[in-house]
Amino acid sequence: MKLHFKLLLAVLLFSGGGNVYAQTDERNTIDSLLDELKNPKAGNAAKAVLYENLGFTYDFDKKYDTALNYFLKAADLYNQAGDKNSAWRMAEMNKQMDLAVKDDSNKKLVLMAIGVEVVVFLVVISILMRKSGRQKSTNQMLIGEKKKAEELLLNILPEKVAIEIQEKGITVAQQFNNVSVIFTDFVSFTKVAERFSPAQLVGEMHACFKAFDEVLEKCNIEKIKTVGDAYLAVSGLPTPNRNHAADAVTFALLMRNFMVHRKFQMGDATFEMRIGIHTGSVIAGIVGVKKFAYDIWGDTVNTAARMEQNSEPGKITISESTYQLVKDKFVCEYRGEVDAKNKGKLKMYFVIGPKELGSEEEKIRPDANRRAF
């Protein structure tokens, strides 16, 4: 019975019937953002960011009409401020939500079909068990199905979180005080994408992101998500890791050198990339029950994004907090205090490379990219 229960739990989880709870304070977040909008000292740039955050909050809650309204407001203010990249990003979010409404309808049909298949599957299993009387054979079949479900779960959630859901049926949001967040972004993506066909664009992005995914585990990195051309990952959770900053920089160097080498080989048929890293605390948990996702929130994530936005093509920019943790292992170049949007002046550093090339670090050199990937 225990084995059957776990199988049913895994199946229900993938068909949208699992009860996954994340302890987030969404209402307080919305109220806080609305209160900040009332601040008479808030300029258009600050209001644009607040509207954008409200849009994402309502988007996570599947309230697409409300989210769309805030994204449109953010896009208008970004346009007024001359921030075309952010305005374009808001426009893309509007498109995604238009598709989300249609996707919800299609998903319901898919879920109904899956539900029927699950019922048929369980009925067939029950009949086979009663008629065959071969308990051992049936158990092996169930074990195989359970293994497939576990593998699928591990493909979308960190192992520790997936195990918690399997054992308890829920997972609790947590705060991690010492992590390093990695943000990447393709330079002038919109303009470069105009030269690509849809198939070429998606194919090249897939090739790059696949290469990054393949070195995640060896660097102790947890991939969070991709949003358009942005890639978000973190080191130090869900299992704490005291070497999180060094692991994050190592991963960033592997990504950077892969892209430099690919650019040398393919020219305008690929992209240039900026990378940013910041160290601090984040909250991590699962959002939603349909197409749920493990995500991270907090000022550390925003600051990592500012590091990336103020970086340069083919370079890695790290914050002061990250630099203090890696300065003995990596050669870094101080850039001075850079004015970061909504953050004021922040100390930033370029990462040049490791101080000593050992057997592991040799993979980070540009001329070793083929071996690293």
The full set of domain ranges for the chain reads 1-172, 174-372
pTM listed for this prediction: 0.57
Higher pLDDT, 263 or 140: 263
Q: How far apart are CA 241 and CA 202, in angstroms?
A: 34
- Mean of pLDDT over the chain: 78
For 111-158, how does the pLDDT look when each residue is reduced to its tens digit (9 = 90+)? 565 555 655 556 666 666 666 666 666 666 666 666 666 666 656 666
Q: What's the CATH code, domain 1-172?
A: 1.25.40
| C-beta separation of 229 from 189 below 8 A | yes
For 52-81, how does the pLDDT look when each residue is reduced to its tens digit (9 = 90+)? 788 778 777 777 778 778 878 878 887 887
For 173-217, how does the pLDDT look when each residue is reduced to its tens digit (9 = 90+)? 789 999 999 999 999 888 888 889 999 999 999 999 999 999 988
Q: Is the pLDDT of residue 305 over 60?
A: yes
| C-beta separation of 297 from 204 below 8 A | no
Q: What's the CATH code, domain 174-372?
A: 3.30.70.1230
**Parallel, antiparallel, or unpaired for β 316-319 and 273-287?**
parallel
| C-beta separation of 316 from 272 below 8 A | no
Q: Is the pLDDT of residue 364 over 60?
A: no
| C-beta separation of 171 from 164 below 8 A | yes
The residue type of 368 is A
